[in-house]
Structure 1
């Protein structure tokens, strides 16, 4: 079922590196979505206050491709049962080093769980699991990550490698999620059903994953393809133009998609921003389900990835 009360969609492909932060946008106009060209987010704080939280834009659903929620196996050891409440405690002495990434195994603790700070010889995932008191790496994944078919997202607290999401979560929580919550933004699914939140809040934040978006839209890369190659992005882009969704493309947005977002290195980031945006349109239009039926732990603590169904 379509969610009629959402007026604007934003999808941000996030990163610790400013050059790799891109946002795609769409506005509902007379029953169709006008899609704009993705733009780089150079000033996070200005973008947050003038774009994300812009009340004049109507009700906004904003998606971010970093974890919003924490794994139950870790949370149970530190007495955290509610993610929203946990976010409000991160300024207290107990959590003052939470966002400081550990450089050595000896620095890892339950209240300083991100690791490692940098690549060096001898770095092992087992250093993290042992320090956090879990049996294996998979125990640090949330339910939505363990339930993901095919390639699964990396656990929140691991910060090494091309697929890591920990560094994006660190900067995203500090510069976006917590300040937006303080300004009245809702968090899905923690604050309720998406359709209900659309009627009570002007800004709703949710978690996405571009890899899942590609699968759901029938635009997944083949094993021989890479989103880092312009030619492969062009191939996928042609499929994205034929989703059947009620969209209208701004001239520059369509040109960018047809060109695979150019030869520039950050083309893959703009590509991911657009993938997530189209998946969000499909969800809001009712072409894809919002999510599976969630357990209390998933609704209150771990969170969920928009569009994922078991």
Structure 2
């Protein structure tokens, strides 16, 4: 798809940012870009810092803000079925009054709909099937949202409520929902959630933040990039620099001198280098949708639009899903 440009003049001064989230504050990095006319001016990744100041800082100038997050924004439909809330954002806002929801169960006996996160630590013989059964679900597939499931082009992601191992997102969900997003909603923060509130451009307004789920691994594929090795290693990250620069040129993203240096250096030799890469990948994927290089695709499924959510820019459907 050809570059579309701003939907209207109010978007020309907007901010796009992507935060790579973690339980550990030292692994929460954010990349930010400001659109001036047709060009995005991107800064080097920086630590998110005090989460209470994240939204006020992004909104300091009163401009529209699109913020991508590498964490689940939604819950599986089989778990949500029968809940009294209208949708996921309403459910999330109510969690500020239910801190017990975030207590990770140490045993299956502690798992319930009111305490779904599991396990607190590795236990011999534990399975996702037993986790699903403890939640009253028909099988382990019920733990996953459709956007978490495998497609023809990528493997499955981890279920929202699973908290163990390298391939899990439950801890990031807890850290963001409990410590930042739910309190911000309770305080009346000017936040809208994609896709629950509608297409992305319809959520962009001065003095408001549009939140969208963006996966760096999916972003890498959407951008047509491929790492020659593990993203945890500096050498493959450094080798990706020419392709990353080319992607930025295609998207009319102009890196600052500091960001250009980060690209050439493979985002550094420390353990947070992969996090800095991820937040830049997420930022570019967000810009691609904002400028029409990727479609703002939302499957026509009421559960996705009310409870499960979707990954921004993802057009590939899970196995067995059509439409």
What is the TM-score when the length of structure 1 is the normalising length? Answer: 0.92
How many matched pairs? 304
**Residue 156 of structure 1: which of 160, 168, 193 is its match?**
160
1:103 to 103, 106, 114: 106
Distance 1:220 1:15 in 2: 24
Q: Which residue of 2 aligns with 1:242?
A: 246
In the alignment, which residue of structure 2 is the partner of 1:211? 217
1:70 to 71, 75, 78: 75
Q: Report the TM-score, using the length of structure 2 for normalisation.
A: 0.88
Pair 1:201–1:191, CA change in 2 (3 A): farther
TM-superposed CA distance for 1:257, in Å, is: 1.1
Whether 2:294 is the aligned partner of 1:269: answer no
Question: Structure 2: how far apart are the matches of 1:294 and 1:147?
Answer: 19
Given candidates 259, 262, 276, the residue that maps to 1:253 is: 259
Flag as ranges the 4+ runs of structure 1 deviating above 4 A: 77-81
Ranges in structure 1 where 5+ consecutive residues have no aligned partner: none
- Aligned partners of 1:176 and 1:260: how far apart in 2? 30
Q: Distance in 1 between matches of 2:172 and 2:145?
A: 17
Residue 30 (structure 1) aligned to one of 37, 62, 67: 37
CA contact (8 A) 2:29 2:276 kept: yes
8 Å CA contact 2:192, 2:211 repeated in 1: yes
Counterparts of residues 109-148 of structure 1 (less than 5 Å): 109-146=112-149, 148=151
User: Structure 2 residue aligned with 1:176, among 164, 171, 180?
Assistant: 180
Aligned match of 1:287: 293
Q: Is the 8 A contact 1:185 1:202 kept in 2?
A: yes
Aligned-CA RMSD value:
1.9
| Equivalent in 17, 32, 41 of residue 10 of structure 1 | 17
Tell which deviates more after alignment, 201-210 or 59-68. 201-210
Q: Is the 8 A contact 1:3 1:195 kept in 2?
A: no
DSSP 3-state at the match of 1:205: strand
The question of whether the paired residues in 1 share the 8 Å contact of 2:62 and 2:206 is answered with: no
> Mind listing any 5+ residue stretches in structure 2 that lack a counterpart?
317-323
Aligned mates of 1:248, 1:84 — CA distance in 2: 34
